[in-house]
């Protein structure tokens, strides 16, 4: 599991400035973490993770409890509201499922982490090889 960043650590590094809203696809499997390393309208996206709750074995015939973990640092002087939508895709880019996270509020210069709970089909989790991320910043 990736090390969690302090607010100061999360503000350093090479962040790529991108348009708001941000959209891009990444190779990804369940029980892993991704560091998008993008800055969207002054908000740095430090982490996207998806994990089966309690590290349970995935049962393809059941809906599995998963957590989606998000991390952001807002460099703006005012609060930002952040919307993240993830399209779970197979190896060929076909959409298997859509996960819309609740909006996250991030204050200035602090690492904001959010853990959200979902139930996702075991067959989707086993078939997922990519994630297409959409992130929009509202101020």
- Which domains does the chain show, CATH number per domain? 13-138 (2.60.40)
Residues 82-97 have pLDDT tens digits of 999 999 999 999 999 9
Peptide bond into 21 cis (omega under 30): yes
pTM exceeds 0.75: yes
- Look over the chain and give the mean of its residue pLDDT values, rounded to a whole number: 91
- Determine how many CB atoms are found less than 10 A away from the CB of residue 74: 25
β-strand pairing of 95-100 with 63-74: unpaired
The two tokens of residue 4 are: 């969690």
Report whether 67 contacts 94 (CB < 8 A): no
- Residue-wise pLDDT for 41-54, tens only, equals 999 999 999 999 88
Range name among 84-88, 108-112, 124-128 with the lowest pLDDT average: 108-112
């Amino acid at each position: 599991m990736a090390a969690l960043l302090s607010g100061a650590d999360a503000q350093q590094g090479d962040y790529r400035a991108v348009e708001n809203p941000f959209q891009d696809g990444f190779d990804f499997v369940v029980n892993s973490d991704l560091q998008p390393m993008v800055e969207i309208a002054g908000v740095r996206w430090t982490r996207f993770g998806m994990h089966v709750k309690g590290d349970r074995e995935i049962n393809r015939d059941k809906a599995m409890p998963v957590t989606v973990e998000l991390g952001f640092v807002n460099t703006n002087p005012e609060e930002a509201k952040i919307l993240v939508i993830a399209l779970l895709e197979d190896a060929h880019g076909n959409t298997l499922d859509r996960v819309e996270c609740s909006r996250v509020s991030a204050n200035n210069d602090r690492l904001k982490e959010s853990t959200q709970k979902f139930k996702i089909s075991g067959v989707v989790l086993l078939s997922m090889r990519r994630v297409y991320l959409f992130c929009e910043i509202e101020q």
